[in-house]
């Protein structure tokens, strides 16, 4: 049995389809369930449904052998896990955005984000001094109500920015979901994990 941590929501839905396409027989009811632990004896897989930012923690600590997480989460959490495969699902990008036409005329602009480490590294690399303000969601609110000058957040279709009168200024990083593996599991359950990687590789 392999234990897989992944976020509820969009990644779980896309990952289920991917795993089915790779030949793992997973029940259709899985997508609708409110259970946080789902097991398929037939596929020999147990899913642990977690908050996106917590997935690398479960894998690093070895309570899950495998995880599926966005590259955004992996960049932010920097956990000690193997990243083995780009699943190319939940594609989006991280971007700097703000109010259209608003220039940065303060010495230390305020940057609101759910990704404080990624944002800090981005501005450090550019040699720009900023103040990072950590938020947990609805980041687009920050410039609208004067909490921040810019945001660093996920953009997919661009609808959230557009409907809130915001524009993208800079791209920070392309994002897709990745398969990660616990270091010990990688050796202890090598053949099982390798088989899963190979089957997924054929279809991504
Ligand atoms: N609009 C989007 N389109 C495509 N992928 C996205 C989008 N937003 C986020 N993602 C990707 O999906 C992952 C999970 O995002 P999701 O929206 O399911 O959770 P969340 O809102 O970030 O989490 P939380 O439950 O903490 O609010 C992100 O880490 C990112 O990689
Ligand atoms: O470009 P779009 O297609 O509009 O998608 C981008 C939005 O999707 C994510 O939000 P999510 O729905 O996960 O909510 P959150 O603000 O709670 O993170 C992200 O934080 C943006 O707000």
**13 CB contacts (<8 Å, ≥6 apart)?**
31
Per-residue pLDDT of the chain (204 residues; tens, 9 = 90+): 999 999 998 999 999 999 999 999 999 999 889 999 999 999 999 999 999 999 999 999 999 999 999 999 999 999 999 999 999 999 999 999 999 999 988 999 999 999 999 999 999 999 999 999 999 999 999 999 999 999 999 999 999 999 999 999 999 999 999 999 999 999 999 999 999 999 999 999
Cα distances (angstroms) measured from residue 94 to each of 14, 19, 31, 41, 151: 20, 26, 27, 38, 10
What domains can you pick out in the chain, each with its CATH number? 2-90+176-203 (3.40.190.10), 92-173 (3.40.190.10)
Question: Which protein residue has the closest C-alpha to ligand 2 atom 21?
Answer: 154
Instruction: Give the nearest ligand 2 atom to 156 CA.
Output: 1
Question: What residues does ligand 1 touch, defined as CB less than 6 Å away?
Answer: 7, 9-11, 51-52, 70, 72-73, 90, 92, 137, 154, 156, 175
Instruction: Give the nearest ligand 2 atom to 160 CA.
Output: 4
Q: How far is the CA of 95 from the centre of ligand 1 (A)?
A: 14
70 forms beta bridges with 177
pLDDT at residue 105 in the model: 87
pLDDT at residue 97 in the model: 98
**159 Cβ inside 6 Å of ligand 2:** yes
DSSP 43-107: TTEEEEEE-GGGHHHHHHTTSSSEEEEEHHHHHHH--S-EEEEE---S-EEEEEEEETT----SS
Specify whether the CB–CB gap between 58 and 5 falls below 8 A.
yes
Specify whether the CB–CB gap between 122 and 72 falls below 8 A.
no
Q: How far is the CA of 192 from the centre of ligand 1 (A)?
A: 28
Coil, strand or helix at 37 = strand
Q: How far is the CA of 139 from the centre of ligand 2 (A)?
A: 8
Specify whether the CB–CB gap between 192 and 2 falls below 8 A.
yes
How many degrees, rounded to 5, is the angle at CA 106 between CA 105 and CA 109? 115
Instruction: State pLDDT tens for residues 5-43.
Output: 999 989 999 999 999 999 999 999 998 899 999 999 999
| Entry pTM | 0.96
């Amino acid at each position: 049995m392999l234990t897989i941590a992944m976020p509820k929501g969009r990644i779980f839905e896309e990952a289920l389809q991917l795993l089915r396409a790779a030949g793992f027989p997973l029940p259709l009811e899985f997508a609708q369930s409110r259970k946080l632990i789902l097991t398929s004896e037939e596929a020999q897989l147990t899913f642990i449904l977690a908050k996106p930012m917590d997935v690398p923690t479960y894998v690093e600590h070895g309570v899950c052998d495998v995880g599926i997480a966005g590259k955004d989460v992996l960049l932010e959490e920097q956990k000690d896990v193997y990243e083995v495969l780009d699943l190319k699902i939940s594609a989006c990008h991280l971007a700097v955005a703000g109010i259209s036409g608003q220039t940065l005329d303060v010495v230390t602009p305020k940057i609101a984000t759910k990704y404080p480490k990624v944002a800090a590294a981005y501005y450090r690399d550019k040699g720009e001094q900023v103040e990072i303000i950590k938020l947990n969601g609805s980041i687009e609110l920050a410039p609208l109500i004067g909490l921040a000058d810019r945001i660093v957040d996920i953009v997919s279709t661009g609808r959230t920015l557009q409907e809130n009168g915001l524009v993208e200024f800079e791209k920070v990083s392309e994002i897709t979901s990745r398969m990660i593996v616990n270091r010990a599991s990688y050796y202890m359950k090598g053949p099982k994990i390798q088989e899963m990687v190979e089957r997924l590789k054929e279809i991504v």
